[in-house]
Amino acid sequence: MLVAAAVCPCPPLLVPDVAAGAAPELDTARAACTDALGVLAASLPDRLLVVGPAGQSGRGPHPEGTRGSFRGFGVDLDVRLGTGNAGPAATERELPPSLAVASWLLERTGWCQAPVEGLGVGEPLAAERCIAVGREIGGRPERVALLVMGDAGACRTLKAPGYLDERAAGFDADIARALGSADVAALKALDAELAYELKVSGRAPWQVLAGAAENADLAGTLLYEDAPYGVGYVVAAWS
């Protein structure tokens, strides 16, 4: 059963070592992520499941202890998912970047409340499949908390990675409203094609959250919403 959820953005720039001189620009977002993780800790879960967008090589489950790094972003920094010992399955592949950022957040806040596992979700995964995956998570007998990673549109300004798309601001506002109010129906109804066109990386993970929260009576709080680099970042907590 789902007892709490935190929604955080997943740009590697959230990690100060990666952002370097630009690090202070995301201090407010980092603080909001810390607050959201505090809500997860307060829920006293039996297990924390981290869900984030992933490419082909990072899809599927990642057991506790799986390692990730930011070397691909020019920084010699390693992270590990959770605090448990890495078994053989955890050494087979690295975490996708979204789960590496989540691992950094967990290490930064000293997460030790419950075992952690990761799930990389393919960004093109159909809404129905995302929701079904979420239902499986929500149907677990143990108390599960979710840390859901993903960015909103990358088309908010002329200098954004996807250039300026006039549809992006409205779509991102709808996302922020849904995540901030724990609106499961609105998340299920997100337009996957439009999300793809606007380079929204969080659509699939958010729809996993929607499936997991179907039978959970959770209220949402929007902790942060901005687009400092032309990419929409949202932080929310459900409890």
pLDDT in the model for residue 56 = 83
pLDDT in the model for residue 92 = 65
d(CA 81, CA 99): 8
Q: Which domains does the chain have, with CATH numbers?
A: 2-238 (3.40.830.10)
d(CA 203, CA 131): 11
CB 88 within 8 Å of CB 64: no
| Distances, alpha carbon 189 to alpha carbons 47, 178, 192, 215, in Å | 28, 10, 9, 17
pLDDT in the model for residue 113 = 86
pLDDT in the model for residue 91 = 55
d(CA 198, CA 92): 33
Rounded mean pLDDT for each run of 10 residues along the chain, 239 residues in total: 98 95 91 98 97 91 96 95 68 88 96 94 95 98 98 96 96 98 98 97 98 97 96 98
Nearest in space to 122 (alpha carbons), one of 185, 42, 202: 202
